[in-house]
Structure 1
């Protein structure tokens, strides 16, 4: 079983796997919501409200303090272009975060409705930001 298959299994039944045009639509939303460096990271210097975090509790605290809304819908995006994008629930993603981040080097958890992103970079740095 591949790492993406293990991730999909861990996330459970209430997910949607996006390919092709649906995947491209989410990538366009992501690209238009956050500035990306030429080396493929979010350009955090251009994101006014962001924080470097170390734990899921810190992520949740940042969201509770800065996000007005209760949508828990997120998209998991990986740096590997051949992988699908997964639509899931943020709580479930946090529950199986090790399976999610094992799929590829860099991972983004993106909420287009509340316009925030969590970037989990391969060097272990985790940042969250709002647009």
Structure 2
């Protein structure tokens, strides 16, 4: 299919909490975006046409952060691939903590044509 869900159990052991921010750990937005891109990559690589290829992160659009993600939270990442032509893909992602949207936005992939 073109939809996928991934989970990230956020713990205080994550390296980025050492400095983001001292005394008030907050998961960096760029890590949330990367997690969405990884879920999108798994969706793409599950398709026969893309097996063995590498999807590269090509851009983000209209991203919004709505809730702080902190240690102890479970991040549920839902991604849908909305456009896929040749070697370019577009995904819509939402990251939830419980029922609350923590972040949402659109991202683009460029899929390597041949790994040889």
Normalised to the residue count of structure 1, the TM-score between the two structures is: 0.24
* Larger Rg belongs to: 2
Q: Of Structure 1 and Structure 2, which has the larger fraction of its residues in helix?
A: 1
Q: Of Structure 1 and Structure 2, which has the larger fraction of its residues in strand?
A: 2
